[in-house]
Amino acid sequence: MNKTSSSLAPAPLPLSWGIHLLTAALAVLLVRPFPVVAAQSSGTGVAKGFTLPLYNKTNKLESLLTGAGGDVQGGQVFLTEPRVRTYAEGGRTNLDIASANCVFNTRTKIATGSNQIHVRSGDGRLTVDGQAFCWWQTNNNLAVSNQVRAHIHKSLQNARVSASAPALVPANADQSAFDVKADRLLILQQENLIICEGNVHVDDPQLALTCQRLTVKRTPANALESVVAEGQIIIINRADQSRTTGERAVYSLDERREFVELSGRSKWTDGLREGTADLFVLDRPNDRSGSTLRAFGAASMKLPRPKGNGNDLLSFSRGATTQDQTGTNQSIDVSAGMFTLQLPPTNGALRGIVAETNVVISTLDGVARATGTRAAYSPNGVMDLTGLPAAWESQGRTIKAGRLVFDPTNRVFHAETNAVLRLPAAGLAKSLGPAGEKSAPTNHFVEITAEHIDYADGWLTFSPKVHGVYLEGETSLGELNCATLKVRYTNQIESLTAAGSVQFLQYPRTNSDGKTTSRNLTCETLDLRFTPEGRLGIITADGRVLGEQRQKRPNNPRESLSRAECDRITAEIDGSSNQVQRATAQGGVRLSRDDRAVTAEQALYTGTSGLLTLTGHPVVTLPDGEITGTDVITWDRVTGKFRGGGLFKAQWRGLQGRTNLMKLLPLK
């Protein structure tokens, strides 16, 4: 052997390692003396069967350096086939270190070598291979300075290996271990630390990790306690190829699961989705049922907008088209105090995302925004949002409830628990606006509350205890109450059906002519049909219908009251004027205005003539008498005059002075 060959010198150690090791060595020197070097030759010459033990204060063996042979020159021993064994409490082997040759300095108690080195723990849970090393006998620290390859087992079980017993490595070692590649490695035996630095690559059955520094903490029994990765961290999940980055990661484990905590500008993405947070925590159960990734602190995520939803989740439009999903505005931003991502157990897609605490969801194009306390997002795009209340706002449309479920792909949503839907009247039907206008004013809204609100297949359903109001700004103009309400809504309202103790109220309102009018309608069912142009076409009320209208004219304190009662009424509406074109009332018909009334089995009203035709035992009741006994009576609503056909019977109470006879046309 060439004693002066520079090939035996290890690569220079980083300054930080040198300071750390020098401090540790000085501490040992101050505590206890070194044992005497034992060999067959000393001074200068050839040493055979070189042996150098190190004992602690209690005379327990801590390490043993041996070699097949070597040259001794001054204070240096050039060893061939050197081997180092370090020992733990109870005499079990801690580390077994072997190489082709090394140089041991008897003064500094340091062995160095530039050849391949192989390190193995006594229980087989740790193996290290590398190029060039340095071993300190004073504290049993070991540095490997090039081409490090390490295999580290993650078992929590205590080692049951004696100094001479074979290693007990679990049968599933491949699944419960990870491999490390690095530029250099340092083992601090007293601290039970393994430090890898420089281009660190960790290969695990479930993930791959790269970083600049990796620190492995072991228990006194050589079980893995924790792993800390630092600097430019990248973690790839093998199941879904998702990628997580950060500056610091801490790995720990217990009997049931493994944990990885990632912090420092942390970011996660699976290609379709991405998220940022102050801290990510990866929870991997030992039963391989699927990992969970949680994000904490200033957490936000960008999720793809599901296909088929168009631009507005609350548009209820069946004709909405899907834009190019690759566009930058085809995403949903979600921020929350915490996220939970359910990762697949094997190769596959993300199983779900849950956001909790101060959840805010918005589309990048600004079309929609939602808030709540918890949001669950499934891979197929369904969003389950809860809160006190949860709310979704979109282009003037708002829905609030204890729980909101959106399925944009199938254009379905469900709201429950004190649900409230608020829609601009201008987007519902042209009939809601004044006559002659194309639509309702922009400050007019419809607000409907119910325990449940559902939209599917073009039907908007409210139940039970439905309460709707028509608003001008924040002023209520009228209300609708019923048990259930169904609205057929595609690009606009097609039909509306209210059922169960229906009550419609129009609050007093003064028109441009100075008249103040209010209306009230009650029935069991109310059905409205709209024209393709969005105008109200047909109104049908059924089940003991009662309608009232109260009206006051300017400079007249007397209020006019009109009432209509029947079993069923159907009215056809003129779309251009919103006026009744034709109406039919059936079953127990009673119509009255102030002190005049008519009863019949059927009534037909024609808007163009203003005539009301009564059939089926019609009776006219006037302040001074009544008309009966005829088959048909016609009431001119404009002039207030009546006309009968055929035989009739008239009874009058006192015809003194002026009477209402002047208002009666000749009966034919």
Closest CA to 187 of 99, 97, 308, 274: 97
Tens digit of pLDDT for each residue in 291-304?
A: 888 999 889 998 87
- What DSSP assignment string belongs to 259-309? EEEEEEEEEEE-SS-EEEEEEEEEEEETT-S--EEEEEEEEEEEEEPPTT-
- Which of the four pLDDT bands, split at 50, 70 and 90, describes residue 426? confident
Q: Measure the CA angle with vertex 468, ends 467 and 469; round to 5°.
A: 130
- Which of the four pLDDT bands, split at 50, 70 and 90, describes residue 46? low
Tens digit of pLDDT for each residue in 75-92?
A: 898 999 999 999 887 788
Residue 556 DSSP code: -
Task: Report whether pLDDT(161) > 70.
Answer: no
Question: In the chain, what is the straight-line distance between the N-terminal and C-terminal CA atoms, in Å?
Answer: 143
Tens digit of pLDDT for each residue in 518-534?
A: 999 999 999 999 888 77
Residue 36: the pLDDT is 36
446 burial (CB, 10 Å; 0-12 / 13-18 / 19+) is buried
Residue 307: the pLDDT is 62
Tens digit of pLDDT for each residue in 132-158?
A: 999 999 899 999 999 999 999 876 544
Distance CA 501, CA 149 (A): 80
The H or E element containing residue 371 is: strand 368-377
- Which of the four pLDDT bands, split at 50, 70 and 90, describes residue 348? low
Q: 628 is written with which tokens?
A: 């009966």
Tens digit of pLDDT for each residue in 487-520?
A: 998 777 889 999 999 999 999 988 888 889 999 9
Residue 358: the pLDDT is 93
Tens digit of pLDDT for each residue in 601-640?
A: 999 999 888 898 999 989 888 888 888 888 888 888 777 7
Give the 3-state secondary structure percentages of the chain, helix then strand then coil, rounded to 5: 5, 60, 35
Residue 373: the pLDDT is 95
Residue 625: the pLDDT is 82
Task: Report whether pLDDT(329) > 70.
Answer: no
- Which of the four pLDDT bands, split at 50, 70 and 90, describes residue 1? very low
* Single pTM value for the model: 0.72
Residue 52: the pLDDT is 85
Q: Which residues contact 358 (CB under 8 A, 6 or more apart)?
A: 335, 336, 337, 373
Q: Give 593's strand partners.
A: 562, 596
160-169, 231-240, 404-413, 441-450: segment of lowest average pLDDT: 160-169
**Residue with token string 């779900």:** 352
Residue 440 DSSP code: -
Domains of the chain and any CATH numbers:
6-238 (2.60.450.10), 249-387 (2.60.450.10), 411-594 (2.60.450.10), 596-668 (no CATH)
Looking at the chain, the whole-number percentage of residues with pLDDT higher than 90 is 42
Distance CA 351, CA 340 (A): 11
CA dihedral 610, 615, 619, 623 (to 10 degrees): 0
Closest CA to 398 of 467, 445, 345, 454: 445
Looking at the chain, the whole-number percentage of residues with pLDDT higher than 70 is 80
